[in-house]
Amino acid sequence: MRFSDEFEARFAEMVPHYPTKRSALVPTLLYAQDEVGFLSDEVIQELAGRLDLTELEVRNVISYYSMLTTKPRGKFNVQVCTNISCLVRGGEEILHHCAKKLGVGHKGTTADGLFSLEEVECIGACSWAPAAQVNYDFHENLTTEKIDKVLDEYRKKATQ
């Protein structure tokens, strides 16, 4: 299993920061997921080996964290917040609009593998609600027109 040089540099830097190896697990899983797209059996096996854990221990941790996934998803993961601050400013409308536009529901992926949709809990954009994240990018003060533009931009990005 090969990761990028950037991942390896980060991993090598991070592990000595902790008195126990496994402490590096959670951020490492997220970095690995960013590269591979999801936490595949191969990734789990590799990281378990590196951090002196069993694969089961790694899976046990993965299942706790909502950002970690063992299933592939779209290149762009559209995460729409519908928690309280977004709810009262139309978060659900944004979610339904995305679902309709992309033709997928919660945790669904478009047939071309470009987009996934997810209804998420508070992302810390309450004062700029309604908000969504596409992968790690925040998109705030959303309207249905604005999210249309956002999704179109990503679609364009993918074809470039």
Contact residues toward other proteins (CB under 8 A) are: 17-20, 22-27, 29-30, 51, 60-61, 63-68, 82-85, 87-89, 92, 95-96, 106-107, 119, 121-129, 133, 136-138, 140
Residue 14 Cβ, how far from other proteins at the closest point, in Å?
Answer: 8
Cβ closest to other proteins, residue 19 vs residue 145: 19
CA distances from 132 to 28, 55, 142 (A): 24, 33, 8
DSSP string, 43-99: HHHHHHHHTT--HHHHHHHHTT-TT--SS---SEEEEEE-SHHHHTTTHHHHHHHHH
In the complex, what is the shortest distance from the CB of residue 151 to other proteins, in angstroms, rounded to a whole number?
A: 18
Query: From CA 86, how far away is CA 121, in angstroms rounded?
Result: 10
Task: Name which of 16 and 159 has its Cβ closer to other proteins.
Answer: 16
Looking at the Cβ atoms of 126 and 158, the one nearer to other proteins is 126
| Cβ-contact 83, 122 below 8 angstroms | yes
Residue with Cβ nearer other proteins (49 or 159): 49
Output the smallest distance, CB 141 to other proteins, in A: 8
